[in-house]
Structures are given as C-alpha cells and as structure tokens.
Structure 1
C-alpha cells in the first residue's frame, strides 16, 4: 500500500509555464541571455534541463543566483496562477480517502503556501518541502523518506519532468509522470516512468489502483 504521495508543484499542480517563460525573458534581457520565443517552446519542452541551459547560453554558475531572483518575481505574480483544472477534485478525493499528500518542489515553500491560500487549498497537504538542488532531487526525496520512516514501496511521486523520473529511479520510488506539465511526452517516455497520466482524471484512476 502506498501511504505517502509526493506531488511536484510547478507544471504538475499549477500551470505556471507561461509565467516562468515571462520571468526568464525579463532576466534574459537584463543579462543578455538568449530569450525563449513562442516558436521555441515545443523544442524547449523536448530538451533536458542541461540541454536547455546550454541552448540558452546561461552560465551554470549563475543559476543559483538567478533562481533566487526568479522566486522573488514569481511571488510578485503568484496571484495570476491557478491550479491545473481537475487537480482540485483529485486532491479532494485523496483527502476523503485519508491518504497523506505532500509537495516536494524546487520552488520556495513560501511561494507554494501563498498559492495554496489564494486557491483555497489550505490544509490540502500534510507538508510543503522545498528542494533546493536543481540536479539532485533524489537527495531531497531520500531525506523525506528517512524523516517519515518510509520505504520506497510506501511512496509514490507525481511529477512532470524527466529529472523527477530520474530521481525516483535512483531510489526505486514509483513515479507517475503527467503529460500536461513542462516536459514533452517523448522526453518523459525516454525516462521510462512507472505510469503516465494525460489528465487529472487518469491520474486519480492510477492512484486509486495503487493506494
């Protein structure tokens, strides 16, 4: 039985892609990085994070500083964001079944709590966990498992990026990859997730078979 459900945030619970592209382009203009144009979006979704960084010409050493600045701008715009249609119903069903859900994200816990408050989702999650490393999400998942005293078979992760799949594979944690987020379906499939969901309704159906 899966007793612990971990949700990714951006792209999985909230449709923030347009906002993040907007914020990136603002910083790109300031730092003279290559901007993301509308016609670039499909290609960018098919690339890994390292490939995107290389294509955009962003120095790797500047990423932590840029990420911190992006979080501040994100908070200033968070009132414009809404939960992915259908996900509120998924969360309500899980809560009704007494299942424990938490969020693990590279976004800040403050941003996530503000979003949940704005969307009347206070109390929908047991815990909000901020994962700082851009390329090391498995370290954060392992830490959560240790804190909760949970084995990999008692966990399930829900995310929208290849890096989510790779992190879970390192730990043997089952993952459901959702296709409405940041990474393209082909990129997700290349990571061989345990399950894939193309809609919140399909996600719920998978979860009910696992929990």
Structure 2
C-alpha cells in the first residue's frame, strides 16, 4: 500500500515547457548555441537529455552555468506559469485518501514555493525537496526514503522524463510516467515505467488503486 507520493515539478505539476524553450533560446543567442525551432520540438522530446545536448551543440561543461542562469530567468517569469489543468484535483483527492504528497525537483525550492503560492497550492505538500544532482536524481530519492524511513514499496514517484524512470529503477521505486510533460510517450516507454498515463484523470485512478 502506497503512503507517500513524490511528484516531479516542471512538466508534471506545472506547465513550463514553452517557457523553458523561450529561456533556452535567449541563452542560445548569448552563448551562440543552436536555437530550438518549433519544428524541432517533437524530435527533441524523443531524445534523451545527453542526445538533446549533443544535437543543440551545448558543451557539457557549460551546463551547470546555464542551469544557474536559467533559474534566474525562470524566476523572473514565474507569474506566467500555471499548474497543469486537473492536477489540483489529483492532489486534493490523494490527500483525502491519506496519501502524503511531496515534490522532488531540480528546480529551486524558492521558485517552486512561489509558483505553488501563485496557484493557491501553498501548504498542499509535505515537503519541497530541491535535487542537487541533475543527472543523478536517485541520490536525492534515496535520501528522501532514508529521511522518511520508508521502503520503495510504500512510495511512488510521478514524473515526466526518462531520467526519472531511470532513477527510480536504480532504487526499486515504482513510477508513474505522465505523457504531457517534457519527454515523448515513445521515450518514456523505452524506460519501462510501472505505469504510463495520458491525463490527470488517469493518474488519479492509478494512484487511488494503490491505496
């Protein structure tokens, strides 16, 4: 029986894909990387992060600097972001069933809390955890399990990227992959998630079946 739900944030709870593409393109002009065109989006969603970085010509060593700069630009645009339609209802229903929800994201806690407040969701989550490892989310998930004193079978992760699936696989944590976020359905399926859902309604049914 699942008691803890760990939600990813960008792409899963908040619809930020368009903003992140816009911010990336602003930095691409500054650093002379390849810009993302509208016709590139479908292909990029089907590629892993390392494949995207390679295709866009972004030097791996520059990624930490870009992440830091991107977070600042993101913060300046926070008021344009909204929770994915239907996700407020998901959070409310699972809470009413006694399931505790938390957020684990590579975004900053400050950004996350501000968006939750803007969308009237402050106080809806037990914890907001900012993952320090962009390419090693399993380290943060393991730390959370240790803090909660819970086993993999008592929790579930909800995310929208292949890297989320890979992190959960390393720890034996069940995962629900959602198709409305950053990675395509085909890419998500390649990671063999425990569950794949196409709408918040399907996500709610899946989560409630695990209580």
TM-score (norm 1): 0.99
Q: Which residue of 1 aligns with 2:82?
A: 82
Q: Does 1:203 align with 2:196?
A: no
Q: Which residue of 1 aligns with 2:26?
A: 26
Q: Which residue of 2 aligns with 1:190?
A: 190
* Cα displacement (A) at 1:203: 0.1
Q: Does 1:114 align with 2:117?
A: no
* Cα displacement (A) at 1:81: 0.5
Q: Does 1:63 align with 2:63?
A: yes
Gaps of 5+ in 1: none
* Cα displacement (A) at 1:132: 1.9
| Whole-angstrom distance in 1 between the partners of 2:82 and 2:202 | 20
Structure 1 stretches of at least 4 aligned residues deviating more than 3 Å after TM superposition: none
Q: Which residue of 1 aligns with 2:41?
A: 41
| Whole-angstrom distance in 1 between the partners of 2:110 and 2:167 | 24
| Whole-angstrom distance in 2 between the partners of 1:43 and 1:64 | 24
| Whole-angstrom distance in 2 between the partners of 1:195 and 1:86 | 18
| Whole-angstrom distance in 1 between the partners of 2:131 and 2:56 | 24
SS of equivalent to 1:193: coil
| Whole-angstrom distance in 2 between the partners of 1:17 and 1:88 | 19
| Whole-angstrom distance in 2 between the partners of 1:76 and 1:178 | 27
SS of equivalent to 2:177: strand
Matched-pair contact (CA < 8 Å) for 2:7–2:159: yes
* Cα displacement (A) at 1:94: 1.3
| Whole-angstrom distance in 2 between the partners of 1:134 and 1:120 | 28
Matched-pair contact (CA < 8 Å) for 2:25–2:35: yes
Q: Which residue of 1 aligns with 2:148?
A: 148
| Whole-angstrom distance in 1 between the partners of 2:31 and 2:139 | 31
- What is the RMSD computed on CA atoms of the aligned residues? 0.6
Matched-pair contact (CA < 8 Å) for 2:45–2:183: yes
Matched-pair contact (CA < 8 Å) for 2:142–2:171: yes
Q: Which residue of 2 aligns with 1:53?
A: 53
* Cα displacement (A) at 1:98: 2.2
Matched-pair contact (CA < 8 Å) for 2:158–2:178: yes
How many matched pairs? 211
Q: Deviations over 1:136-167 (max 9, x none)?
A: 00000001001111111111000000000000
| Whole-angstrom distance in 2 between the partners of 1:121 and 1:25 | 30
Matched-pair contact (CA < 8 Å) for 2:3–2:98: no
Q: Which residue of 2 aligns with 1:97?
A: 97
SS of equivalent to 2:11: coil
SS of equivalent to 2:209: helix
Q: Does 1:4 align with 2:27?
A: no
